[in-house]
Amino acid sequence: MSGKSKDIAIVLTKAILDHRIMPGAKLGERELSEIFNVSRIVIRQALVRLLEEGVVTIERNRGAFVIKPSLQDAQDVYDAASILEQGAIAQLSHRLSSSARASLRQHLEQQRQALRDRNNAVSDILGQQFHMLLVKLSQNRVIIDIYEQLSRKILLIRALYRAEFDYEHLLEDHERLVDLIEQRKFKQTQDLLHDHNRIVSNSYVLDEREQPARSLAEALAPYLADQHQKDAKVAWMADHKESRSSRAVPSKSGSTTSTTQGRGS
Ligand SMILES: [Zn+2]
């Protein structure tokens, strides 16, 4: 995979998470190759990358589309994550160290501070981290790996859809969860986790309102401005080197490697 296709995948992901390219939008290969001024092969590589990350689906003869999880899809992802969290708690009974308990308490304090600061964006991130921390307590690598995959999907769901969380209530639940863990009441911890995760997944507002029609070129314009500045700088540096040295040799990926670099790779 070329560096170019990776960069394009990153720009597309940003635009999707920033809500500039909407769920369900078509990502046309030809249109994108014109926008990014690269071959369709490079675009295809970028789209395959997004497919692997679960950001797009590719439909035979129709092309690539931004995923559009339904309310049920979101619910399923949360249910699966919740089952793993509860399973991790079930494994805690013989694995709960005092340092693990301390890290939970410390994390709660960070969450409390974010709430005091009324910083919902940080509350959001810390809230998710807290759940990851619970799963990591299990020290089960397989559970942790699967949970990380689900976390990426949750991240996407959170970016794609609006949620109205009561952060105060969620944090009170987190505090109660840690209390229960410290009291080694693992069954009650699992029950509370189940209810807590249900509240979270039910907080989504799956907004089906029509979005203003925006072409891919318009949606991507802000990111391309940055990219063009970078490209211009790279081109200027390459020209500059060329004028000082013998010749610049185009590399396979299309970027320019100058002989003045003086370093082998
Ligand atoms: Zn939570």
Q: Determine the distance separating the centroid of ligand 1 and the alpha carbon of 23, expressed in angstroms.
A: 25
DSSP line for the chain:
--HHHHHHHHHHHHHHHTTSS-TT-EE-HHHHHHHHTS-HHHHHHHHHHHHHTTSEEEETTTEEEE----HHHHHHHHHHHHHHHHHHHHTGGGT--HHHHHHHHHHHHHHHHHHHTT-HHHHHHHHHHHHHHHHHTT--HHHHHHHHHHHHHHHHHHHHSEE---HHHHHHHHHHHHHHHHTT-HHHHHHHHHHHHHHHHTTEE---SPPPP--HHHHHHHHHHHHHHHHHHHHHHHHHHHHHSS-EEE-TTS-EEEGGG----
Higher pLDDT, 112 or 256: 112
Give the pLDDT confidence score for residue 247 in this predicted structure. Answer: 46
Higher pLDDT, 68 or 193: 193
CA-based nearest residue to 20, from 261, 212, 256, 246? 212
Q: Determine the distance separating the centroid of ligand 1 and the alpha carbon of 14, expressed in angstroms.
A: 25
Give the integer Cα–Cα distance in Å for 157 and 202.
12
pLDDT 10s digits, 29-64: 999 999 999 999 999 999 999 998 888 999 999 999
Task: Tell me the torsion sign for CA atoms 132, 152, 82, 168.
Answer: positive
Q: Determine the distance separating the centroid of ligand 1 and the alpha carbon of 223, expressed in angstroms.
A: 33
Q: Determine the distance separating the centroid of ligand 1 and the alpha carbon of 208, expressed in angstroms.
A: 26
Examine the pLDDT at 262 and tell me if it is beyond 50. Answer: no
According to CATH, the topology of domain 1-68 is Arc Repressor Mutant, subunit A (1.10.10)
Binned at pLDDT 50, 70 and 90, residue 235 comes out as: low
Give the pLDDT confidence score for residue 92 in this predicted structure. Answer: 83
Q: Determine the distance separating the centroid of ligand 1 and the alpha carbon of 193, expressed in angstroms.
A: 8
pLDDT 10s digits, 145-174: 999 888 878 877 877 777 788 999 999 999
pLDDT 10s digits, 78-93: 999 999 999 999 888 7
Q: Determine the distance separating the centroid of ligand 1 and the alpha carbon of 15, expressed in angstroms.
A: 27
Q: Determine the distance separating the centroid of ligand 1 and the alpha carbon of 135, expressed in angstroms.
A: 12
Q: Can you give the residue ranges of every domain in the chain?
A: 1-68, 71-205
Give the integer Cα–Cα distance in Å for 223 and 14.
9
Q: Determine the distance separating the centroid of ligand 1 and the alpha carbon of 68, expressed in angstroms.
A: 24
> Both tokens of residue 56?
């797009």
pLDDT 10s digits, 204-225: 876 655 566 789 999 999 998 7
Higher pLDDT, 172 or 246: 172
Q: Determine the distance separating the centroid of ligand 1 and the alpha carbon of 44, expressed in angstroms.
A: 37
Examine the pLDDT at 238 and tell me if it is beyond 50. Answer: yes
Binned at pLDDT 50, 70 and 90, residue 258 comes out as: very low
Q: Per CATH, the architecture of 71-205 is what?
A: Up-down Bundle (1.20)
